Chains A and B, each alone.
Chain A
């Protein structure tokens, strides 16, 4: 069930710089992805009331939800944090999913918060590298089951970026994700730029990851751009996608039979350099990458097992 028919739609991750875009160019996208945390202030676990809606931002959400289907891309669950599992956050997500009819809900497969003293949480500042072990699978599976029960359907979890991998992992990352989706029925949000970042920094081939992943579990794909700092390539969401990301999209999308949407992500601080035209161009390039080639190449023996039928 895709957002606009039998093939995957193309959308953009909403940020406030796109308020004018929503008014003038909503016809160019099939859906908007929104970060729900942008629409409320979270006073932290244990606070009462904990979540305070931001009226101006909620007004924006209502305007875009009136125009296009909306999907939710959460950043605050921190489902892989061993020291906390935030069910109040899940309840808030459930409430907003019901209110705005999110077409699907995704989250990061990440540990970003650590339980601190006196009930306060410490934000780790970035997603901690995860150990791809059975121990983490055992932590995640019952949590995902509870989240999905609350949301009334599967959640999609996003693969992340690693700058310093945890050594001696029991599983590769795609093998870990395959085990997670097989045991819980959750989906995968496949971020192609994150794969590109890991390929550039760690020498892990993106195509190898894709070939090892059960692509039937992929419900959404993220595309984005990045930039370099001190010789490291960052997932900076700093404007247009590099050509490698579109090449990956062309390769992987036809193999994802349950793909519902491709989402272009960028940070609002880069909007002035792109403008509405720049965003429209990225959307068009994504559409082009999704279009079946007029003369499809013969499938390689390696790819036939995953090919869409």
Chain B
């Protein structure tokens, strides 16, 4: 059990430079929640004080960002300078990270869409990029009734304007919602504007 507790504490240190600093400052308090042997405790203190620990913290952040950026690149761009703060909040609140790209991106998108300060434009872009990932991932699947290679989204923004938006800038909403169909059954992803959603 002591190795498991050592690894749990080390995982928490790697996930948070703030926690590393707390272990350096108040080791008794910061490590109180782990059942550690004296040697494991001494090792963690040494590692938290090792300047090279910063690289582990950086890599943790980069590795958690990679799946999000791979699936949701335009959403990350639309967040602009807010991205760093949003990631801090997400990583702190959602510790059960996974490197399964689709799952991690979907969890992040749900978390972000539920925030009160997430704009309708960003919600549209998140939904669009997740849907793209889903239909493209299903591209090689055989045809069936509920075809995962096709999906229809109701959007309040012109998708072309959203994709072309400069970093941190959002286009105005459309006068009325539209339905956009994504179809990955052929060689390339096809986007078709169906009809105004309220027609």
A29 within 8 A of B: no
Q: How far is the CB of B182 from chain A (nearest CB, A)?
A: 16
* B6 CB–A CB distance under 8 Å: yes
| Beta-carbon contacts under 8 Å, A115-150 to B | 115-116, 120-126, 128-129, 131, 135-136, 139
A114 touches B58 (CB 8 A): no
Chain B stretch 166-183: residues in CB contact (< 8 A) with chain A = none
Q: How far is the CA of A232 from the CA of B50 in the complex (A)?
A: 14
- In Å, the complex CA distance between A157 and B121 comes to 47
- Assess whether A229 is in contact with B58, with CB atoms less than 8 Å apart: yes
A166–B43 CB distance below 8 A: yes
Q: CB within 8 Å of B: which of A153-202?
A: 163-164, 166-168, 201
**Any chain A CB within 8 A of the CB of B137?**
yes
B110 in contact (CB, < 8 A)? no
- Which residue in A54, A57, A163 is a CB contact (below 8 Å) of B59? A163
Cβ–Cβ contact A125 & B59, under 8 A: yes
- Number of residues on chain B facing chain A (CB within 8 A): 42
Residue A83 interfacial (CB < 8 Å): yes
Specify the main secondary structure of chain B where it touches its partner. Answer: helix
* CB under 8 Å from chain B, chain A span 27-44: 41-44
Kindly identify which residue among B46, B54, B98, B139 contacts A167, using a CB–CB cutoff of 8 Å: B46
A57 nearest in chain B by CB position: B140
Given contacts A58-B140, A167-B43, A232-B52, whether A120 and B60 have CB atoms under 8 Å apart is: no
- Given known contacts A83-B4, A125-B63, A164-B47, is B55 in contact with A114 (CB within 8 Å)? no
Q: What is the distance, in angstroms, from A42's C-beta to the closest C-beta of chain B? A: 6
Chain B contacts of A120 at CB under 8 A? Answer: 96
| Docked-complex contact B53 and A44, CB < 8 angstroms | no
Residues from chain A with a CB closer than 8 A to the CB of B55 are 163-164, 229-230, 232
The CA-CA distance from A203 to B147 in the complex, in Å, is 55
Task: Report the Cα distance A58→B3, complex, angstroms.
Answer: 37
> Which of A55, A56, A139, A167 is close to B47, meaning CB atoms less than 8 Å apart?
A167
Chain A residues numbered 201-250 whose CB sits less than 8 Å from any CB in chain B = 201, 229-230, 232, 234
Task: Return the contact of B43 from the options A114, A115, A131 (Cβ within 8 A).
Answer: A131
Q: Which of A41, A55, A111 is close to B141, meaning CB atoms less than 8 Å apart? A: A55
Select the residue from B47, B59, B95 with max chain A CB neighbours within 10 A. Answer: B59
Q: Is B39 among interface residues, defined by CB-CB distance under 8 A?
A: yes
B119 interfacial by beta-carbon distance below 8 Å: no
Choose among B39, B52, B61, B137 the residue that contacts A54 (Cβ–Cβ < 8 A): B137
Nearest-CB residue, chain B, relative to A201: B52
CB proximity of B61 to chain A, nearest CB, Å = 8
User: Using Cβ atoms and an 8 Å threshold, which residues of chain A touch B56?
Assistant: 126, 129, 163-164
Interface string of A99-124 (1 = CB under 8 A from B): 00000000000010011100011111
Q: Which residues of B contact A125 (CB under 8 A)?
A: 14-15, 59-61, 63-64, 97
In whole angstroms, how far apart are the Cα atoms of A81 and B5 in the complex?
A: 10
Task: Report how far A199 CA is from B97 CA in the complex, Å.
Answer: 30
Which residues on B sit within 8 Å (CB–CB) of A121? Answer: 96, 98
Instruction: State the CA gap A136–B39 with chains docked (Å).
Output: 14
**In the assembled complex, B2 has its CB within 8 A of some CB on chain A:** yes
Tell yes or no: B102 within 8 A of A by CB: yes
Q: What are 24 A-B interface contacts by the 8 Å CB criterion?
A: A42-B100, A55-B140, A56-B140, A58-B140, A82-B3, A82-B4, A122-B96, A122-B97, A123-B97, A123-B98, A124-B7, A125-B61, A125-B63, A125-B97, A128-B14, A129-B47, A131-B3, A135-B2, A163-B52, A163-B55, A166-B47, A229-B55, A230-B54, A234-B59
For the complex of A and B, list the 7 residue pairs with the smallest distance between their C-beta atoms, beginning with the closest.
A56-B140, A55-B140, A125-B60, A82-B4, A82-B3, A83-B4, A167-B46
B residues near A, CB below 8 A? 1-4, 6-8, 10-11, 14-15, 39, 42-43, 46-47, 50, 52-56, 58-61, 63-64, 95-100, 102-103, 137-142
Q: A41-B102, A126-B56 are in contact. List 16 more A-B contacts (CB 8 A).
A: A41-B103, A42-B100, A54-B137, A55-B138, A55-B139, A55-B142, A58-B140, A122-B97, A126-B60, A128-B11, A136-B3, A139-B3, A163-B55, A163-B56, A163-B59, A229-B55
